[in-house]
Amino acid sequence: MSQQKLRIAVQKSGRLFEDSIKVLKDAGISIDNGKEQLKASSRNFPLEVMYLRNGDIPQYLRDGVVDVAIIGENVLIEKGKDIIRGEKLGFSKCKVSLAVPKSFKYNSINDLDGLKIATSYPNTVKDYLQEKGISADLHIINGSVEIAPNIGLADAICDIVSSGSTLFKNGLKEVEVMLKSEAVLAISPKISEERKQILEKLQFRLKSVLNARTSKYILLNAPDDKLEKIISLLPGMRSPTVLPLAEKGWSSIHTVINEDRFWEVLDELKSNGAEGILVAPIETMVL
Ligand SMILES: Nc1ncnc2c1ncn2[C@@H]1O[C@H](COP(=O)(O)OP(=O)(O)OP(=O)(O)O)[C@@H](O)[C@H]1O
Ligand SMILES: O=P(O)(O)OC[C@H]1O[C@H](OP(=O)(O)OP(=O)(O)O)[C@H](O)[C@@H]1O
Ligand SMILES: [Mg+2]
């Protein structure tokens, strides 16, 4: 059994921190707390966690100082094109967009030609504009980008948009969505064969956790004469389990359903005679 540990980078503090720790915890990996130490080991999995700035992580991966990381996909697109992109993790969903003041009469990207754009994502903007045959004057700043047009620093901005409230509060409107992002597992091109084996175990666990997060276990009672119709409404993992109830003419159906689909079919289930519908979360789902 290998003594090596997989070295994973997690954002020290910020938008990704809590969900990153949670996904590892749900995968049964407990980390001795104390991110002040900047380095911690798991008690029950060969994993060493390094708490780093999100923006610094691509360089650490490139250098092979860490083997994997949980990072915003947008950061990899900006400065980690050579880094291997693994599983999408389903949290920290956002867009990287271009925005202009509300009063700006925007018709197309051509309206930005020759203008000044403030951003923390210069490479992403450059690539996007180049593809559209536009050139702009980029003003690179690290934060509070949305304030730039209001203080006369730029005509437009490119930054992260999630709810859109920061844009709204600063009198801006989104005009182009350049990319969509979420947290992903990023893998160093220099990872050793030995550590790759630990990574495969981690990926297997993460996949099982992520499958479970988007699925629900559903139990319901159905009159036997409606069984066929009700089962057709419930696309399960393979096919649902059907058990007879003590009361004649009734059965209990058990299955797993994608939570997005569940609310869509609920009314149809009820109108076809389903009763006593129970929906339960699933902790882990191995497919
Ligand atoms: N408002 C938001 N909603 C959803 N996801 C977001 C939002 N803002 C940022 N993100 C995602 O979370 C990541 C980390 O953002 P955060 O603001 O915590 O750190 P940062 O300032 O970009 O990086 P660093 O850790 O280097 O300080 C971003 O790269 C992006 O993928
Ligand atoms: O569309 P919204 O929901 O308003 O989210 C977008 C804002 O969130 C992020 O900033 P954050 O709060 O992380 O601050 P930061 O600039 O200090 O990173 C991002 O840089 C935007 O400013
Ligand atoms: Mg931020």
**Global ipTM:** 0.96
DSSP run (H or E) holding 158: strand 156-161
Q: What is the pLDDT of residue 235?
A: 75
Residue 160 beta carbon below 6 angstroms from any ligand 2 atom: yes
Residue 55 beta carbon below 6 angstroms from any ligand 2 atom: no
Beta-carbon-side half-sphere exposure of residue 83 (alpha carbons within 13 Å)? 32
**Cα 13 to Cα 211: distance, rounded to the nearest angstrom:** 26
Which stretches within 64-192 are classed as H helix? Answer: 73-79, 122-131, 165-169
DSSP states of 53-96: -GGGHHHHHHHTSSSEEEEEHHHHHHH-TTSEEEEE-S-S-EEE
pTM: predicted TM-score of the whole model, two decimal places: 0.91
CA angle 95/77/203 to nearest 5° reads 95
- The class level of CATH for 214-281 reads alpha beta
Residue with tokens 């999630």: 162
**Cα 88 to Cα 277: distance, rounded to the nearest angstrom:** 32
- Range of lowest pLDDT (68-77, 121-130, 132-141, 256-265): 256-265
The C-alpha R_g of the chain, in whole angstroms, comes to 24
Q: Kindly report the average pLDDT of the chain as a whole number.
A: 94
**Cα 167 to Cα 173: distance, rounded to the nearest angstrom:** 6
Where are the chain's structural domains? 6-92+182-212, 94-181, 214-281
pLDDT for residue 162 is more than 70:
yes
Q: What is the pLDDT of residue 218?
A: 92
Ligand nearest to the CA of 15: 1
DSSP run (H or E) holding 256: strand 250-258
How confident is the model over 30-81, as pLDDT tens digits?
A: 987 666 778 999 999 999 999 999 999 999 999 999 999 999 999 999 999 9
Q: Which atom of ligand 1 is nearest to the CA of 166?
A: 1
Q: Which residues contact 208 (CB under 8 A, 6 or more apart)?
A: 27, 284, 285, 286, 287
Token duo for residue 80: 């980690």
Q: Do domains 94-181 and 214-281 have the same CATH topology?
A: no
Q: Provide the residue count of the chain.
A: 287
**Cα 120 to Cα 6: distance, rounded to the nearest angstrom:** 31
Residue 163 beta carbon below 6 angstroms from any ligand 2 atom: yes
Ligand nearest to the CA of 92: 1
For domain 94-181, the CATH superfamily is Periplasmic binding protein-like II (3.40.190.10)
- What mean pLDDT comes out for the span 259-264? 82
CA angle 265/271/276 to nearest 5° reads 80
Residue 148 beta carbon below 6 angstroms from any ligand 2 atom: no
Q: What is the CATH number of domain 6-92+182-212?
A: 3.40.190.10
pLDDT for residue 26 is more than 90:
yes
Q: How far is the CA of 159 from the centre of ligand 3 (A)?
A: 9
Report which residue type is found at 15. R
- What mean pLDDT comes out for the span 221-228? 95
Percent of the chain beyond pLDDT 70? 98
275 C-beta neighbours (distance < 10 Å), count: 11
